[in-house]
Structure 1
């Protein structure tokens, strides 16, 4: 930004500089057009009706004197003065606007099944790897939310506490594997309890639990329905996702390297009831695209209200053009008091 000490710089009159301004009162420029039109009308009227005195001169006495053209200087100075005044009235200024966004955020616990059946390959490369990729994409789309991670099979444990350090969270997601928990089975009730324990002390106005599993509750010492009611008591909303196709699904290869198929069944009853108790939604997905759509829908449903604060730093430059107007006004007065006007106007 130019300093006001350099107001005498001709840079203030370049087209690029004038275009860079925000004009607070641009309608004043119409006045400039009106003044220009009035000056033209005045010139025409004076040329038409000015009193003329007949003088007889010989042709050799009629000479063109270049000094006579000085008489147009005062009108030009006057018009420049008016133009500068109009420019000042239009209020040239520059505005630097800063926008600060913030939200109260949402606390979300992602609870992911890592039981043996998550190795089934009806999702590519398998159910767990597909779930990890979608989870990472979900994290990338959040803004100022705290997200935690719980994994479970025969037991459940918290992989990551609630955090807004998404790089750290993604590293925990990347490290999820089937050998994190030795006990086999699917302890859905225990997973809900661990996630609830992470969320229960949260002060967030919105607490969300996302449960992703491909099996029935076969392990753990807590009934899933009881655990869901406990979560509901802490005002935690629960979304449940049943992952996997019904029927024969690929699961590894046999001795000869050929795909091996197993029969897959999933009782949705518990997951539906958990979502109902948690005032959330139940989803059944049979491919990766459907899983992505589910997380996208949850992402849109659980958005924090983003609040916005705007700061405007405005600098006015009209004083620069007023100074120039004063200079040209004084020049106009000076020329009006000299021979330029008095001697050559007739």
Structure 2
């Protein structure tokens, strides 16, 4: 089957193949209905000539009524004229090839995950414990992002940047796997320091969307920066803050006794401070008490903070009417030449 090649010259016969004609879109498709109309008009014209034209009676002997194949050449001018009209109508219908092109691009988001690795994150009201559950959902969160730069801050009594903003998601997953309770010697929960470190990491970011996700299970008990002051500083740099408290209040399991029974310890949470941090940062506060709820919260944040996908569509249209117009002109000139030859029927014309 012939395929349309836009580099073919006008005289190439591939312009007349069914596959080429069917591949076109048409600027004026209704004009194509004129092609069978031309055929119908010529049939009507032939019938009218046959039945109504004046006939000149000529007496000839039967032996003189021999016909030859040359007699059929008298039909050639009309066939050429029909082809010329059909080609002209195809040209007027404006055969085209249209390629719709789509350009998409995204503007990524800068996201810093601040993860509490204090000793209380070993509490086992999550499976297997709070830190392991938080690492798992953070790992899955990173897997679902594209085009976004993500960094990691860990904190307990102090805070430090474990991974700068990067799109190397495999590297980030390896960092999550390596996070443990022994990475920071100082005990406590330095929420303000964690906000300060992530703000320092993001303050030179040129991204239009900057997001911090702070995961902790307790009160701010360490560090030399007040959490509220640190939140106000982050907000000044355009950082949206989501805060997540993991764990239950009251008596929670922490380790096991000599007989393998869970030790129950008292756990307190400063929910007011975490709520205020989220409010200052223009984000949201979440309180989760099990693995499923934590996964749901990260799914919500993932839905909230999607990179904006911008799309541009445009059509590249090429016209090919001129190929058929040239053929129509050539057939018209041929028709004029045939009308001046022996093929012309003087009695009819």
Given the alignment of the two structures, is residue 283 of structure 1 paired with residue 286 of structure 2, yes or no? yes
Partner of 1:299: 302
Decide whether aligned partners of structure 1 residues 235 and 68 sit closer, same or farther in structure 2, where only a CA change above 3 A counts: same
Alignment-derived partner of residue 117 in structure 2: 114
Could you say what secondary structure the match of 1:220 adopts? coil
User: Match of 1:23?
Assistant: 26
Aligned to 1:229: 232
Residue 277 (structure 2) aligns with: 274
Contact 1:4-1:320 at 8 Å conserved across structures: no
Distance in 2 of aligned mates of 1:58 and 1:290? 109
Work out which of the residue numbers 240, 244, 255 in structure 2 matches 1:241.
Answer: 244
Farther-moved stretch of structure 1 (153-162 vs 40-49): 40-49
Q: Contact 1:71–1:344 (CA<8 Å) still a contact in 2?
A: no
1:278–1:341 distance in 2 versus 1, CA, 3 Å = same
Deviation at 1:202, TM superposition (A): 2.7
Structure 1 residue 195 and structure 2 residue 192: aligned? no
Tell me by how many angstroms 1:67 deviates. 3.9
SS at match of 1:77: helix
Instruction: Establish whether residue 333 from structure 1 lines up as the match of residue 317 from structure 2.
Output: no
Q: Is 2:123 the counterpart of 1:135?
A: no
Preserved CA contact (<8 Å) 2:228 2:273: yes
Deviations 1:250-286 (A, max 9, x none): 6667777x67464555442221121112121111233
Which 5+ residue runs of structure 1 have no aligned equivalent? none
Cα distance change on mapping 1:70 and 1:107 into 2, 3 Å: same
Give a deviation string over 1:206-236, Cα, whole Å, max 9, x none: 3221112233323323232222222223332
Q: Does 1:158 align with 2:152?
A: no
C-alpha RMSD of matched pairs (Å):
3.5
Paired residue secondary structure (1:330): helix
May I ask how many residue pairs the two structures share in their alignment?
345
Unaligned runs of 5+ in 2: none
Distance 1:29 1:193, change over 3 A: same
SS at match of 1:180: coil
Structure 1 length normalisation: TM-score?
0.81
Match of 1:84, SS?
Answer: helix
Which residue of 2 is the match for residue 204 of structure 1? 207
Q: Which one of the candidate residues 151, 172, 175 is aligned to 1:172?
A: 175
Q: Is the 8 A contact 1:250 1:259 kept in 2?
A: no
Deviation at 1:338, TM superposition (A): 2.9
- Aligned pairs (5 A) from 1:302-313: 302-310=305-313, 312-313=315-316
1:89 pairs with 2:92: yes
- 8 Å Cα contact 2:219-2:268 kept in structure 1: no
> Which residue is equivalent to 1:146?
149
Q: Deviation of residue 24 (structure 1)?
A: 3.3
Q: Distance in 2 between matches of 1:45 and 1:245?
A: 99
Q: 1:278 to 1:321 in 2, by over 3 A?
A: same
Alpha-carbon distance, 1:61 to partner: 6.0
Separation in 1, partners of 2:63, 2:270: 120
